[in-house]
Chain A
Amino acid sequence: MSGTGITDVVRAEFDACLAGADEDGALGLAVGLVASGLSAEEVLLGLVAPAQVTVGEKWASGEWTVAREHAATHVSRRTVDAVAAAARGTARTPAGAGSQGHVLVACSDGEWHVLPSHILAEVLRLRGFHVRSLGGDVSPYGLLSDVHQNGPDLVALSCTLPWNLPRAHRQIETCRSAGVPVMAGGPGFGPEGMWAYPLGADLYAADARRAAEALLSRWPPELRGESSVQAGAVEAYAMLVRQHPGLLEHSVCALRDGFPGLRGRSGVEHEEDAEFVGRLLDSLAAAVFMDDERVFTGQLAFAAGFLTARSVDPGCLREIVDALAGRLSESPRALEKLSAGRRWLAEQGEDLRRQG
């Protein structure tokens, strides 16, 4: 995103504001860019969005605590509001283009990463769309009720985590059955949104700018999507969801047996371990639902990096995968994904040995 008028110096300065949770500094800088003639869209997509990716990376690498990451994110959100307000004040927005359109922006249930949908909502508003935003973790009832009450022309659904894909699927079905087309967006839908169309989304956009352009070039959006999720996959997924508590307990026990050092940890730490294993289970279930092992191996890759950054032996992932395979011998679909996970871990292990 070079050549947009946002220099590396500006970028570094903004990153420093986020790192120090310096709201005044961040707002002053971003609003100053708009005042100096940069479009709000450029500031949102060229400065705030990439800075927020860095924030996520700092958390994943263990450099930042959750608290620090949230403090930085709060500053990003305030910046988005301030930039949008400043742009409306200058009235340089391309007027009228999408003025007929009514878009509802929502995150599926279980999705708390609100910032991308927040940026999308503001970018669409700046392009002239009438936008309502429901924020994070929207229940299917809440979404359906809003669709019936307010009659949007389109629902823009954000999903940043692939383990939420089965829930995103339910939201897509809910909207489409009410006659409202759905545009999917966010890294949860996979590289190039490869999981968006199989879930029945009518449109996919990689970022807010492309979302706005796709809608402006073809309005009103039409119901075109069709879910290709297989009934067998849904049944196997449902079984994993039902067995979740038992599987979780079993894998956490296996993890402690394999890594006795974990036994002496406090109650809170035990819960954190359980949550970590729970995410792997959710990802396995989502991989079964999508019938795509990459949903699972992708989460293993993230987990391996996360553990390594915290000086924990990623070999414990193998322990968890084996424990799950021992309990899921009745489910060929789950076993298939676990085998893929095991292969992926073995390849990673070899890579590490070769490097070592």
Chain B
Amino acid sequence: MTEDGDSGQAPVQTPVLPGELLDLVDEAVVMCDRADGTVRGFNRAAARLFPRLRLGEPVSASAAEPLARAAARGAEQFDTVHEGRRLDGRRQSAGGNTVWLVREVGSAQQAEAALLGERDRSAFLEETARRLGASLHHGRTVRTLVQIAVPKLADASVVVLPASGRRTVWHRAGPGDDRSSGEVTVESLEQVPKVADALHGLQPRPAVVRPQEMDALDPVIAGELIPGETGGALVVQLTAGGVPAGALILLRGPARARFDEADIELAHQFAVRAGLALATAALYSQQAHTIAVLQASMAPEPLPEVEGLRLGAAYRPAAEALHISGDFYHVAPSSEDGITFFFGDVSGKGAEAAVLAGHVRQSLRTLAMTTTAPEPLRDLRLLNDVVISDGSSFTTIVTGSARARGDGSVTVEIANGGHLPPLVLRSDGRVEEVHCEGTIVGAVRDPDFSSTEFRLRPGELMLLYSDGVTEARGGASGREMYGDERLADALAGCFGMQAASIAERVELLTTQWLAGRPHDDISVLTLQAPPRRGSAPLRQHHAPGAPGAAQDPESR
């Protein structure tokens, strides 16, 4: 290294050292014309540490090995053990010359430094465990992992994930704030055997890799850290209980010391924690993906848009985190300018109920394909056979159809299999129950279902709901059921609102009643004949003088 830049010039003459003065100093002082150049002077302490040092001769490895090695890699500081002594040195310049100042670290200082180093390493490992343990999202865990390693362990760190085909994904952090990711072929990885081994979980200890071995991975490694210029590379496997989770490549730039024993041990400890977090996140992500696919197949489909009809729905499963439910509903446009629908509730909740709900939905949709006109009663009888053959569960269900008529009203036909009777909000603000009773579906071989037909005039609405609404326990005491009466009153207060906002309002009132307490699956389906334009008389429902009225402004 020639950073002093004076190699081409005549040596600068400096005043003779006041040697006697420097001999009083405990620190070893060595002055040369360059970092590894000719020795111009040194004090008594330097002579004690480096007895082969000679004036006028170069700072060679044989004369003063720590100085020569630090000079060779351009380091400004070093901390090393030389002939049984722990030495701490730094490079300065004075009068155009290079001055090495070297201090012997005493055993007490050495112990203190070791303790501080140990404390620092445990803090780093603890931070690693905390930050990686918090995330179960695989992508986020990988990104956090490569970021934590920089700068503590390396100038840049790369994680290569296990391959699932002919290519695999890598993520890199560093140098500096640089973040990137990409893909690399399995073929290139296999040209670096230590990385390939780490990916297969066959590299239990971190392995130092020579620059030329890394050539095949050039695209993965940051430009300024291309092998040949690096301070070194370390390959560490990431596994959890033998299951490979990835390979970690730590890269150091030319200005940084190579990996020593302590660094390698720390990298190993880091990888143990990181591997566990990464493997856990990978497993969680696979399961989360499976669940998401199942959730999507079980969730109600979006409501169709049908001319002359307004629809609304709300759906709040008990297992909110999983978003699966034993409540189910489906609305499909029918061939004769209307809709067919069903709405039900399987006994029990959670995954088991959701599976039966899925069967019921599929069966009814298949039945719908077998006829041109809706036949709610026939559908219920066939469904009863299906549920009985399915096992020990039951379901309640309302099936039906609705058709917009020329005069703006809607005719609705429903058949009931043991479900709560629908409510109807009339245009005079009254709420009626639709009388239509039937046996629960899947309970007996010879069930008794009934059907009924009624009309909704413009603005009128039918509400279907699951027992999660009326059986919600809460209120002031926290134990009272929401109940039919409150639901009917709430619905009466909704006159003038659209089908979608009424469904949401019922969900809101139930949820507020619950005030965060656990609940059963909650579902609501509303069907409305659109009000005549300009004829929505939005009456004042709350008499003046009442301090109450639920406080829920939509905006404040």
Is A91 an interface position by the 8 A CB rule?
no
A56 at interface by CB-CB < 8 Å? yes
Which one, A23, A69, A269, contacts B554 given CB within 8 A? A69
B453 at the A interface (CB under 8 A): no
A178, chain B: closest CB distance, angstroms: 5
In the assembly, what is the distance between CA of A20 and CA of B498, in Å? Answer: 12
A59 and B554: CB pair below 8 A?
yes
Q: Which residues of A contact B131 (CB under 8 A)?
A: 179
- When the two chains form their complex, are residues A66 and B552 in contact, meaning their CB atoms are under 8 A apart? yes
Given A70-B501, A177-B134, is A311 in contact with B552 using a C-beta cutoff of 8 Å?
no
Q: Mark A201-233, 1 if CB is under 8 A from B, else 0.
A: 000000000000000000000000000000000
- A316 at interface, CB cutoff 8 A: yes
A271-B548 contact in complex given A65-B542, A113-B555, A245-B476, C-beta closer than 8 Å: yes
Known: A21-B498, A70-B497. A149 touches B137 (CB 8 A): yes
A269 with B546: CB separation less than 8 A:
yes
13 pairs, A vs B, C-beta closer than 8 Å: A20-B534, A53-B556, A56-B555, A64-B538, A65-B541, A67-B497, A70-B501, A151-B135, A179-B131, A245-B477, A268-B486, A271-B548, A310-B546
| Residues of the A chain whose Cβ atoms lie less than 8 Å from the Cβ of B136 | 148, 178
Whether A74 touches B501, Cβ cut-off 8 Å, given contacts A150-B137, A179-B131, is: yes
B322 interfacial contact with A, CB 8 Å: yes
Q: Is the CB of A71 within 8 A of B496?
A: yes
Which of A66, A73, A150, A177 interacts with B550 by CB under 8 Å?
A66
Q: Which A102-117 residues have a C-beta within 8 angstroms of B?
A: 109-110, 112-113, 115-116
Q: Which residues of A contact B493 (CB under 8 A)?
A: 65-67
**B288: A residues at CB distance < 8 A:** 148-149
Contact residue among B477, B495, B512, B545 (Cβ-Cβ distance under 8 Å from A310)? B545
A202→B137 CA distance, assembly (Å): 20
B residues less than 8 Å from A64 (CB atoms)? 538
Query: Closest CB-CB distance, B430 to chain A, in whole Å?
Result: 15
A145 is an interface residue with CB less than 8 A from chain B:
yes
Return the contact of B551 from the options A74, A109, A249, A279 (Cβ within 8 A). Answer: A279
How many angstroms from the CA of A149 to the CA of B294 in the assembled complex?
14
Residue A60 CB within 8 A of the other chain: yes
B478 within 8 A of A: yes
Does A328 interact with chain B (Cβ within 8 Å)? Answer: no
Interface of chain B residues 510 through 547 with chain A (CB within 8 A): 511-512, 516, 533-534, 536, 538-542, 544-547
Q: Does B139 make an interface contact (CB < 8 A)?
A: yes
Other than the known A115-B554, A276-B547, A276-B549, what 12 A-B pairs have Cβ atoms closer than 8 Å?
A62-B544, A66-B541, A71-B498, A112-B512, A113-B553, A115-B555, A139-B321, A265-B546, A271-B475, A272-B549, A306-B551, A310-B544
B320 in the interface, Cβ–Cβ < 8 Å? yes
Which B residue's beta carbon lies closest to that of A178?
B134
The interface residues of chain A lying within 8 Å CB-to-CB of B508 are 112, 136-137
Query: Residue on B with the closest CB to A143?
Result: B321
B508 closest partner in A (C-beta): A112
B140 engages A151 (CB within 8 Å) = yes
Smallest CB separation, A300 vs chain B (Å): 13
Nearest Cβ on chain B to A314's Cβ, whole angstroms: 9
A312 surroundings in chain B (CB, below 8 A): 545-547
Interfacial chain B residues near A165, Cβ < 8 Å: none
Contact count band on B: 35 or more
B548 touches A275 (CB 8 A): yes
Residues of A within 8 A of B (CB): 20-23, 52-53, 55-56, 59-60, 62, 64-74, 76, 109-110, 112-113, 115-116, 136-137, 139, 141-142, 144-145, 147-151, 160-161, 177-180, 187, 245, 248-249, 252, 262, 265, 268-269, 271-276, 278-279, 302, 306-307, 310-312, 316
CB <8 Å contact, B478 and A245: yes
Question: Is the Cβ of A273 less than 8 Å from the Cβ of B556?
Answer: no
Instruction: Give the interface of B toward A (CB within 8 A).
Output: 131, 134-140, 144, 284-285, 288, 291-292, 320-323, 475-478, 486, 489, 493-498, 500-501, 505, 508, 511-512, 516, 533-534, 536, 538-542, 544-556
Cβ of B177 to closest chain A Cβ, rounded Å: 11
The docked-state distance in angstroms from the alpha carbon of A353 to that of B302 is 57
Q: Which residues of chain A have C-beta atoms less than 8 A from B284's C-beta?
A: 148
Q: Which of A68, A72, A307 has the most chain B CB atoms closer than 10 A to its own CB?
A: A68
Residues of A contacting B534 with CB < 8 Å? 20, 22
* Distance (whole angstroms) from the CB of A41 to the closest CB of chain B: 19
A199 to B45, CA, bound (A): 58
Selected from B291, B320, B323, B547, the residue in CB contact (under 8 A) with A316 is B547
Query: Does A73 contact B498, Cβ atoms closer than 8 Å?
Result: no
Contact in complex: A109, B547 (CB < 8 Å): no
Chain A neighbourhood of B478, CB < 8 A: 245
Q: Are B536 and A141 in contact (CB under 8 A)?
A: no
Q: Are B540 and A65 in contact (CB under 8 A)?
A: yes
Interface of A, helix, strand, loop or mixed by DSSP: helix
Q: Is the CB of A116 within 8 A of B555?
A: yes
Which 3 pairs show the lowest CB-CB distances between chains A and B? A272-B548, A151-B137, A56-B555
Q: Are A67 and B541 interface neighbours, CB within 8 A?
A: yes
Q: Is the CB of B553 within 8 A of A59?
A: yes
A67 in contact with B137 (CB, 8 Å): no
Measured in the bound complex, the distance between the Cα atoms of B548 and A265 in whole Å is 11
Task: Tell me the nearest residue of chain B to A144, going by C-beta.
Answer: B321
A151 CB, min distance to chain B CBs, angstroms? 3
Give chain A nearest CB distance to B277 CB in angstroms: 11
Interface centre among A66, A76, A147, A273 (most CB of B within 10 A): A66
A227 to chain B, nearest CB (A): 15
Cα A147 to Cα B505 in complex, Å, equals 27
Nearest CB on B from A36, distance (A): 25
Give every chain A residue within 8 A of B553 (Cβ-Cβ). Answer: 56, 59-60, 69, 113
Taking a contact as CB atoms under 8 Å apart, the answer to whether B496 and A67 are in contact is yes
* CB-defined contacts of B486 to chain A, threshold 8 Å: 268, 271
Are A139 and B489 touching (Cβ within 8 A)?
no
Q: By the criterion CB–CB under 8 Å, are A68 and B538 in contact?
A: yes
Contacts of A302 in B (CB 8 A): 556
Q: Which A residues are CB-close (under 8 A) to B322?
A: 145
A253 to chain B, nearest CB (A): 12
B555 closest partner in A (C-beta): A56
CB-CB under 8 A from A249, the residues of chain B are: 476
Query: With a CB–CB cut-off of 8 A, which chain B residues contact A274?
Result: 476
Are A73 and B538 in touch, CB under 8 angstroms? no
B497 touches A71 (CB 8 A): yes
A60 touches B556 (CB 8 A): yes
Contact A139 B320 (CB under 8 A): yes
Contacts of B549 in A (CB 8 A): 66, 272, 276, 310
Contact A276 B505 (CB under 8 A): no
Given contacts A21-B536, A70-B505, A74-B498, contact A147 B548 (CB under 8 A): no
Q: Which residue of A23, A116, A150, A178 is within 8 Å of B135 (Cβ)?
A: A178
Determine which residue in A55, A70, A139, A272 has the highest number of CB atoms from chain B within 10 A of its CB, and name it. Answer: A70
**Docked pose: A276 CA to B542 CA in angstroms:** 14
Q: Give the docked Cα–Cα distance between A354 and B285 (Å).
A: 66
The distance in angstroms between the C-alpha atoms of A271 and B477, with both chains bound, is 11
Contacts of A71 in B (CB 8 A): 496-498, 501, 536, 538
Q: Which chain B residues lie closer than 8 Å to A139 at the CB level? A: 320-321
* Residue among A72, A115, A252, A272 making CB contact with B546, cutoff 8 Å: A272
In angstroms, Cα B555 to Cα A160, docked, is 8
In the complex, the answer to whether A73 meets B501 with C-beta atoms within 8 Å is yes
CA distance A249 to B505 in the complex (A): 26
| B135 lies within 8 A of A275 (CB) | no
